[in-house]
Each structure stands twice: as C-alpha cells, then as structure tokens.
C-alpha cells in the first residue's frame, strides 16, 4: 500500500496510556506519548484497523516490542525533521541501549559539544519520535529524573519498564 500524500493517525493502548502515531505519505513522522494531544494536520484520517503494509503498522510493532522488553531502533519508514544539531543529538541518543541512562551534559560530550547540555535538553523537547529516540533515558547530571515535558511520572514509569529506578 503506497500512501502517497495522505496523513494518517492511529492509537496504541498500553499500560502507560495511549500512544498516538502520525504518518504523512509513506513515512512515520511523530509518536505522541500518553497524555499528549496529537497535533496533526486537519486532513489527517484516523485509522483503527491497519493493513500489514500500512506505514503505521511498523511503529505499532515497535511500541509493542518495547513494551515486551526488547530494544527498538529507528527503521527506514521513519522520517524526522530538525536542525543539524538536533539530528546529531537524536542519532547519538538512538544508539543508547535499553536500560541505560545518560545525563544531558554527557550526551553533549558524546557528540563533541561539551557545554551544550541546555541545547541537548531543547533537542529532547523537540524529539518527534520518543521511544525510538529514547529521550526518557536522559537524566539530570545529579542523577535526578530531569525534565520530561511536565510528565515526570510517565518518565519514571518508562524507565522502570527498562529496569531503571530513579529516586
């Protein structure tokens, strides 16, 4: 099924709440975490029963795989838009294994930009595909939970599913 220039949205019920997934054309563009209202174009069609070849099917499988305790990675059906710096941060973070955390400052060091911790935090806030770009794995330098769009409890739950407990 080639989706051409169509916009689609679907939802995945999880123990954490509803994840919403948005695609445009053949590419998955956004994953909305539970509690976030999907901000999508007006012409977006909600799809409940996905055909196996639908682009959204891959994202649904990856979310379920993550819930089953497996590592997940970005596949070719995802297309992220952002600045060169954001894409560099997201690329580095996407390689962080399940169950590991990193501080904003350490992530800045990993991309060769020490001192850019605040900019890394802004890149996390702009992350279009959480879970696959696992921004929930980024914590404060002092080991505390750090930010997460005002939803610290969701971040704690996501980390707990990966075996990480943050006090």
Q: What confidence tens digit (pLDDT) does each residue in 19-30 have?
A: 999 999 889 999
Q: Are residues 92 and 60 in the same domain?
A: no
Q: Are residues 97 and 146 in the same domain?
A: yes
Residue 135 annotated to the active site:
yes
Identify whether 79 is part of a domain.
no
Range of the domain at 38: 7-67
Please write the tens of the pLDDT for every residue from 126-156: 999 998 899 999 999 999 998 787 689 999 9
Q: Are residues 22 and 91 in the same domain?
A: no
How many domains does the chain divide into?
2
The domain that contains 110 carries what CATH number?
Answer: 1.10.10.10
pLDDT of residue 77: 84
φ and ψ at 152, to 5 degrees? Answer: -60, -40
Six token digits for residue 150: 């005002």
User: E strands within 5-163?
Assistant: 7-14, 17-24, 27-32, 45-46, 102-103, 138-139
Residue 35 has pLDDT above 60, yes or no: yes
Identify whether 92 is part of a domain.
yes
- Whole-angstrom Cα distance, residue 24 to residue 4? 8
Please write the tens of the pLDDT for every residue from 87-115: 999 999 999 999 999 999 999 999 999 99
Tell me the pTM. 0.89
Q: Which residue, 67, 94, 111, sits at the end of a domain?
A: 67
pLDDT of residue 3: 42
Identify whether 124 is part of a domain.
yes
Pairing between β-strand 7-14 and β-strand 17-24 as defined by DSSP bridges: antiparallel
Q: Are residues 109 and 146 in the same domain?
A: yes
Q: Are residues 130 and 90 in the same domain?
A: yes
Identify whether 75 is part of a domain.
no
pLDDT of residue 5: 56
Identify whether 22 is part of a domain.
yes
Question: Which of 59, 135, 138, 154 is flagged as catalytic?
Answer: 135
């Amino acid at each position: 099924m080639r989706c051409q220039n169509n916009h689609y949205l679907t939802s995945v019920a999880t123990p954490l709440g509803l994840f919403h997934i948005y695609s445009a054309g053949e590419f998955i563009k956004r994953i909305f975490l539970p509690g976030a209202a999907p901000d999508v174009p007006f012409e977006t069609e909600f799809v409940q029963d996905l055909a196996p070849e639908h682009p959204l099917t891959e994202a649904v499988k990856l979310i379920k795989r993550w819930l089953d305790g497996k590592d997940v990675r970005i596949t070719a059906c995802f297309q992220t838009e952002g600045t060169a710096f954001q894409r560099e941060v997201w690329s580095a973070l996407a390689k962080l294994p399940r169950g590991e955390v990193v501080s904003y400052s350490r992530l800045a060091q990993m991309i060769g930009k020490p001192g850019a911790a605040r900019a890394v935090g802004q890149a996390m806030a702009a992350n279009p595909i959480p879970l696959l770009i696992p921004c929930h794995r980024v914590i404060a330098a002092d080991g505390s939970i750090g930010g997460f769009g005002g939803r610290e409890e969701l971040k704690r739950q996501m980390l707990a599913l990966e075996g990480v407990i943050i006090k």
